[in-house]
A and B are shown apart, each in its own frame.
Chain A
């Protein structure tokens, strides 16, 4: 290594040092501690004691753990495809050279900037059984009113609906960037060959966009597994635990039921689940994700 290269490497390390320290102190460190805690019984107030894998064994027999896992999976299965489709559709609509398109993009992006708590409270209004806008619209259509947040059937879908509020946000921006990276000449060539708009979308746009779809898909699943705020603020897990999502149950155990070790075990189970899921996705990716250069990373 030349002295110059060494110096550059050193500068590089120095520059990422603050981040590295922060990562060790606030992410890696706490993770290591939580791994240790997951093997203990700890009520926060008195010293933890080692219980081996008992927390993990108890999880297996805890009906609320399974309920929370099921709710979270249901939320994910509903949210991820709907929000991906929504964001992609919006991105396709906003990826045109029409006047004031940037104003439209900004408008659709706005919900992303709203604080989640404020949004959640607005949604409790919209979904109010007696005075909500949604039920008002239903009644105008002659449809029966729905007890959105008080019904065990509708509460979780209501949370999904709230999540769709941000389809114009970051995910849409990433799609938009992806769409703009698709070379114009491919579209032109397809058009010259007589391909309709639908065929161009299916055979040109979507294959070339597949790495972006994949990226949004993986991140979307991880994010929806971690859903917490709406379930905490709007329904507090109810009615009858129908919106008790994984992270909410973890939080209750850690901070309300004096079972921090149990909560730490839950956190690690979730990490393993997400790791497994992501690994499977990266394996399956080769079947449907197309990289223009022909090479697939990883």
Chain B
């Protein structure tokens, strides 16, 4: 008896749905094209994009947008999913993607050259930060429209500096004294054992550290590479076919980090610091990281004053810059409509809405340099250092073997941080393996 009623209800529901579907469509005046956009984003970004898309659909009644949000824990993992979608032959029209997938996508002729669209729209590449354009260009042609950019700078616990009676990194920087040597001195003074002794005092016990001067910037790649760059080193040669990490300048940078960790005991490994969110808990003086940490870590800081400063200088002032962009797959079914959407999402007002969430620096220069974005007076006070760093920061070397290269190098570097290998020996072996990869 009961099952009979259930089926009656199901039938009624089905009939109702069909009626609504059939009855709701008067003869359409225009042909409507549905395009798909594959992207990734966290909850706030998703909400924002849903709003932007419905705004877009209102102003473009001939285009509907299917927003496909990929849930991925990392950028490489996100790109795997895009790849798998593409491998099925079911090409999306718009992809948002991070720099790391670009070399491979480019080598496989996966993306459409968008220069003609830019020319037609009268859009100048110079409106964007040069590194952002460079990251997605090949032989002078642009393959993705930059959305955001980021650089690595130094977060610091301002209260901890004050209590130790130290000048802040920004003060040292203004005085032209913010070098890796100063950084080391400061880090040692901020590192404390359970008796309150700092790492530069006699009797300091390195086995009972309760407060660290810095997170050792050894994470791959955004911790290590800026250090290598500022010591005057390179990761690969200009043609991206040879590893250069075994050259003296890069080795000096890596040796500096090994010394910081193992001999001076003034740094903690990033993995240990992240597990317990040590910086936000006030146990760490300095931490090199990207713009996104203003929201990710900054919002977790409740008990102390903090700020950001440029990375210390080695032989040169440097850092690492990375970018994300919208692209159209070469085999996208509706490239024109895809461009219309990208154009809309990249408008200054829509870019600013995204920037307000706090995770990105707009790749559009006018937006990033606007007082609205730089928010003077808001914590962190020196947030402009991230934007300034875009002028001297470097892009990761471009290679299709990126993931393999980072893993190979990371494995050798692990042995440096534990003291099992010297920087020279480890980089020598890493470079031999990386060279073999790149010749492949």
Which residues of A does B touch, CB under 8 Å?
Answer: 43-46, 124-125, 128-131, 144-145, 147, 149-152, 237-241, 252, 255-258
Residues of chain A within 8 A of B269, CB atoms compared: 150
Q: Please, which residue of chain A has its CB at the minimum distance from the CB of B274?
A: A124
B272 with A45: CB separation less than 8 A: no
Task: Kindly state the separation between the CA atoms of A145 and B207 in the bound complex, as whole angstroms.
Answer: 8
B418 with A45: CB separation less than 8 A: no
Instruction: State the 4 A-B residue pairs at the shortest beta-carbon distance, nearest first.
Output: A239-B414, A45-B108, A240-B414, A256-B403
A152 with B275: CB separation less than 8 A: no
A44 with B84: CB separation less than 8 A: yes
In B89-131, the 8 Å CB interface with A consists of: 104-105, 108-110
Residues of chain A within 8 A of B132, CB atoms compared: none
Task: Kindly state the separation between the CA atoms of A43 and B414 in the bound complex, as whole angstroms.
Answer: 29
Q: If A45-B87, A150-B272, A252-B407 touch, does A239 touch B418 (CB 8 Å cutoff)?
A: yes
B108 with A46: CB separation less than 8 A: yes
Report A156 CB to chain B, min CB distance, Å: 14
Question: Interface 1/0s, chain B 392-427, versus A by CB < 8 A?
Answer: 000000001101100100111011011010000000
Q: Which of A44, A129, A144, A241 contacts B411 (CB 8 A)?
A: A241
Task: Kindly state the separation between the CA atoms of A256 and B100 in the bound complex, as whole angstroms.
Answer: 11
Residues of chain B within 8 A of A150, CB atoms compared: 269, 271-272, 417-418
Task: Kindly state the separation between the CA atoms of A178 and B115 in the bound complex, as whole angstroms.
Answer: 71
In this complex, the member of B80, B86, B272, B400 whose beta carbon has the largest number of chain A beta carbons within 10 angstroms is: B272
B209 with A130: CB separation less than 8 A: yes
B272 with A129: CB separation less than 8 A: yes
Q: Please, which residue of chain B has its CB at the minimum distance from the CB of A155?
A: B414
Task: Kindly state the separation between the CA atoms of A147 and B76 in the bound complex, as whole angstroms.
Answer: 28
Residues of chain A within 8 A of B411, CB atoms compared: 237-241
Other 8 A-B pairs with CB < 8 A, given A46-B109, A150-B417, A256-B407: A44-B83, A124-B275, A130-B272, A152-B415, A239-B417, A252-B404, A257-B403, A257-B404
Q: Please, which residue of chain B has its CB at the minimum distance from the CB of A144?
A: B207
Q: If A45-B86, A258-B400 touch, does A239 touch B415 (CB 8 Å cutoff)?
A: yes
B403 with A238: CB separation less than 8 A: no
Residues of chain B within 8 A of A257, CB atoms compared: 401, 403-404
Report B110 CB to chain A, min CB distance, Å: 6
Residues of chain A within 8 A of B109, CB atoms compared: 46
Task: Kindly state the separation between the CA atoms of A258 and B76 in the bound complex, as whole angstroms.
Answer: 12
Residues of chain B within 8 A of A240, CB atoms compared: 411-412, 414-415, 418, 420
Residues of chain A within 8 A of B403, CB atoms compared: 252, 256-257
Q: Please, which residue of chain A has its CB at the minimum distance from the CB of B212?
A: A130
Question: Interface 1/0s, chain B 261-298, versus A by CB < 8 A?
Answer: 00000001101100110000000000000000000000
Q: Which of B84, B86, B105, B275 contacts A125 (CB 8 A)?
A: B275
Can you identify 25 A-B contacts, CB atoms within 8 angstroms? A43-B108, A44-B86, A45-B83, A45-B86, A45-B108, A45-B110, A124-B275, A125-B275, A128-B272, A128-B275, A128-B276, A129-B272, A130-B272, A131-B276, A144-B207, A151-B418, A152-B414, A152-B415, A237-B411, A238-B410, A238-B411, A239-B411, A239-B417, A256-B404, A258-B104
Task: Kindly state the separation between the CA atoms of A144 and B208 in the bound complex, as whole angstroms.
Answer: 11
Residues of chain B within 8 A of A258, CB atoms compared: 104, 400
Report B228 CB to chain A, min CB distance, Å: 19
Residues of chain B within 8 A of A145, CB atoms compared: 207
Task: Kindly state the separation between the CA atoms of A258 and B400 in the bound complex, as whole angstroms.
Answer: 9
Q: Please, which residue of chain B has its CB at the minimum distance from the CB of A239?
A: B414
Residues of chain A within 8 A of B207, CB atoms compared: 144-145
Task: Kindly state the separation between the CA atoms of A256 and B407 in the bound complex, as whole angstroms.
Answer: 10
A44 with B87: CB separation less than 8 A: yes
In this complex, the member of A131, A149, A238, A256 whose beta carbon has the largest number of chain B beta carbons within 10 angstroms is: A256
B410 with A125: CB separation less than 8 A: no
A45 with B414: CB separation less than 8 A: no
Task: Kindly state the separation between the CA atoms of A45 and B110 in the bound complex, as whole angstroms.
Answer: 7
Task: Kindly state the separation between the CA atoms of A214 and B415 in the bound complex, as whole angstroms.
Answer: 40
Residues of chain A within 8 A of B86, CB atoms compared: 44-45
Report A63 CB to chain B, min CB distance, Å: 9
Task: Kindly state the separation between the CA atoms of A45 and B412 in the bound complex, as whole angstroms.
Answer: 30
Residues of chain B within 8 A of A237, CB atoms compared: 407, 411
Task: Kindly state the separation between the CA atoms of A43 and B110 in the bound complex, as whole angstroms.
Answer: 12
Residues of chain B within 8 A of A238, CB atoms compared: 410-411, 414
Residues of chain A within 8 A of B400, CB atoms compared: 258
Residues of chain B within 8 A of A131, CB atoms compared: 275-276
Residues of chain A within 8 A of B110, CB atoms compared: 45
